[in-house]
Structure 1
Amino acid sequence: MNWIRKRGIRKRCIWLLTASVFTIPVILQILNSTRSHDLTAGSNTLEPRNHIAYVKVHKAASSTIQNIFLRYGYQRNLTFVLGRSANMYPNVISLTESITKYNIEPRPPNKSFDILCSHVIYNYNAFRAIMPRDTVFLASVREPFEYFISTLHYFRPSYIFNISDPDPISVYLQSPARYEPQKVKYSMTNNRMAFELGFPKELFHSRNLVGVNDYLMKLDREMDMILVVERLEESVVLLRRLLHWQLQDILYLPKNTFKDMRNETKQKLNKNFIIRNDSKEKYMRWAHLDYMLYDFAVQRLDRQIQNQSPDFQDEVRHFKLVRGRLQEFCMQTSRPYRPDTLIIPSSAWNHEFVADSLMCAQMTLIERKFINEVRYRQYGVAVDD
């Protein structure tokens, strides 16, 4: 057993060294890239950018970020790309393929699409075919092991939890390929972030480092920004600058998080759920693509922040303060002593604005209900919830 363990560690070290040989040139190329993503600080004086294509990656703060786009678009009567009304899940276009003429509703008469923010697999050409030329391309990612834990909580994959053992997670991590669905598109734990961001299917089998880095370079050319969950407030402030929006447009309350579930739900989901000290190391060996994607996104975010004006971190601190005040205000909705409005004074980064019960209601509205509201406005069709 010791020999096997040492051999596994040696194999992992060799993989990491090999990965670094291929990844470092890619990072240097990205750092020297001449592509300009318009991340300007003075967004209060520039025309807002209203055409958004957001890749809603599962368990990567995507419901929280989606709510920002739903509120913004709904308030301005913008047109959303929606899945077919017959779909079981209103907030899903497809979990296995990109956009086709068969899985989205047609454009309303005399309108073009403005915002895409429902679940669908990324494909640049498919997105570009239905979105305006000036569309901003966005996505979000999360530290892969944290993603894995969140997926276990939320989806309870049967191919893992049906393993006949008191500790199915550890058994699965010993040999994930043995238990995974045969087709990658049916898995939520086989480098799912990479799958949803459109990585070529052959890379899930070959793990070819040249191919992975080629695709990361492709994403660097296509994506205006990739938000990072572990640095969400920085990411969202950068997003505000990219889109030339107002501070109130990008405020959010966390949605679909495990800690917000009721205690009885948590107890049910935690049944037979054991994470051991070596679980992360084992998962890292399996999630090669997701880890390379995540490292790429973090380094890219760092680069974009470094190119910001000196007041960027001051704006982030201001955003955190305002968001905290808004969250406290909205969480008091049912209390009789809560004031009707919350006035946010002007600052170097925002005009004075007023938060009210409607703003809180839209921030806390369940995404499938929000999508159904959008669907009714666009198509006059109400879908049973």
Structure 2
Amino acid sequence: MILNNVRHLDQTYQERMEDRRQVKGQSTVKGFTQSNIIIPKKVITKPSNLTSITNIDIGNEVCHVAFITVYKAASSTAHNVFLRFGWARNLTFVLSSTRSKFGYPNVISSTESLTKSNILPKPNGKHFDIQCSHIIYNKSAFEYFLPNDTIYIGIVREPYEQYKSTLHYYRPRYIFKNIKGDFPASIYIRDPLKYEPRSIFKYKFNSSEVRLILETLASEFKLVIISEQMEESIVLMRRYLHWNMKDIVFLDQNVAFNKKDNRLVRPHDRYFYRKWAKLRAQIRDQGPDFDDELILVKEVRKDTSIFCLNDSKGGEIIPINTSKWRRPFNIIWEDCKLFRMGERLFQQIIRERQYGPMHI
């Protein structure tokens, strides 16, 4: 039953935000502080046969990217990819002028788009390269601050799973404190309008207008990542952005999927998801070798996960040899620290390098 799908949300929730466990300037990652991040200048690799690398890798890598995050849509996993890419190249990020009212350095605003007052100015002599903080998307506002050749990447998640994850993570007081009974989430889902009189449920959505908006967005975004197809999405993104394979290696962060349908989700929400959940059309355009690269990425991710979870801090490395889709590279322990780093801590460290400790 539908109500059984959310009943587990009524249990006592013990999770605490990572930043609340931190002492300012320190990390919950064992053995890590900002001062001991090491980005190796040299890595031992096997000789590369550059003639075996396709045009996908030879093209100039895209360094101007806007990633439009969505709460509880596995955006933390994708976010880490963008942060690591920019960190390794010392690119300039768009960052919040102050911490959000919730105390999160990775949130610029939940009510407006980019403005001169809610972000820090560009460092002297530089321009913004990457925007991946939480912010309301507005194309005109983004174009004002970002270069003209910026590539826009979005992300979506199956609507009902996103709804459940949001309730479980944020546990809003108006549901879990104000609704009396043993199962407040179950009571809420029976009649949301009763507890949210100004909820979006009461507004009427013209389906043709929704489709028009989505067509506009489709023309503005190069790719929309599908959370349930994260690996396929990331491989496709690598090809679009001409990044190296090491740039897209990732470890799952805060991801848990339970594929169940729920007809309480509004039709426009489900249409929005289905609009983007058609990666196969884009993948087909990549040719028959896409699935071969996908298999390779899965293998590299599996080996990386095992290596990083072993907590071996010595000189061990994983050598990744050259192939049709990649130049050779190594995975070392210092990479694991970055793979596992949460976006809030990562942005704090980027903020200090970009502007100095006064803005932490």
Match of 2:226 in 1: 228
Match of 1:168 in 2: 184
In 2, Cα distance between equivalents of 1:176 and 1:126: 33
Deviations 1:108-166 (A, max 9, x none): 11111000001001111111111100000011111111111211221112222231122
Match of 1:179 in 2: 195
Q: Is 1:331 matched up with 2:347?
A: no
Quick one: which of 88, 92, 100 aligns to 2:107? 92
CA contact (8 A) 2:66 2:151 kept: yes
Residue 292 (structure 1) shift = 1.2
CA contact (8 A) 1:207 1:288 kept: no
In 1, Cα distance between equivalents of 2:140 and 2:196: 29
Match of 2:5 in 1: none
Q: Is 1:62 matched up with 2:62?
A: no
Residue 357 (structure 1) shift = 1.1
Q: 1:105 to 1:229 in 2, by over 3 A?
A: same
Amino acid of the structure 1 residue aligned with 2:183: D
In 2, Cα distance between equivalents of 1:325 and 1:181: 50
Residue 42 (structure 1) shift = 3.0
Q: Give aligned-pair identity as a percent.
A: 41
In 1, Cα distance between equivalents of 2:267 and 2:138: 21
Q: With a CA cutoff of 8 Å and minimum separation of 6, indicate the structure with the bigger relative contact order.
A: 2
Quick one: which of 263, 282, 288 aligns to 1:310? 288
Q: Is 1:122 matched up with 2:100?
A: no
Q: Which has the higher helix share?
A: 1
Quick one: which of 142, 163, 172 aligns to 1:157? 172
Amino acid of the structure 1 residue aligned with 2:349: E
Match of 2:86 in 1: 73
Q: Is 1:82 matched up with 2:95?
A: yes
In 1, Cα distance between equivalents of 2:184 and 2:300: 43
Q: Is 1:360 matched up with 2:339?
A: no
Residue 302 (structure 1) shift = 2.4
Q: 1:70 to 1:48 in 2, by over 3 A?
A: same
In 2, Cα distance between equivalents of 1:99 and 1:181: 29
Residue 86 (structure 1) shift = 4.1
CA contact (8 A) 2:193 2:199 kept: no
RMSD over equivalenced CA pairs, Å: 2.1
CA contact (8 A) 1:173 1:282 kept: no
Residue 313 (structure 1) shift = 0.7
Tell me whether 341-350 or 223-232 shows the greater mean CA deviation.
341-350
> Aligned to 1:355, what secondary structure does the other structure show?
strand
Tell me whether 301-310 or 114-123 shows the greater mean CA deviation.
301-310
Quick one: which of 307, 324, 348 aligns to 2:324? 348
Residue 81 (structure 1) shift = 0.2
Match of 1:290 in 2: 269
Quick one: which of 244, 253, 256 aligns to 2:251? 253
Query: Structure 1 length as normaliser, TM-score?
Result: 0.75
> Aligned to 1:170, what secondary structure does the other structure show?
helix
Deviations 1:76-118 (A, max 9, x none): 0100000113432101001122111111111111111000001
Residue 258 (structure 1) shift = 5.7
List runs of 5+ in structure 2 lacking aligned partners. 1-53
Tell me whether 128-137 or 148-157 shows the greater mean CA deviation.
148-157
Q: 1:181 to 1:84 in 2, by over 3 A?
A: farther
Deviations 1:238-262 (A, max 9, x none): 0000000010001101112369xxx
Deviations 1:43-89 (A, max 9, x none): 21100000000001111111111111111101101000001134321
> Aligned to 1:376, what secondary structure does the other structure show?
helix
> Aligned to 2:319, what secondary structure does the other structure show?
strand
In 2, Cα distance between equivalents of 1:81 and 1:224: 20
In 1, Cα distance between equivalents of 2:72 and 2:249: 19
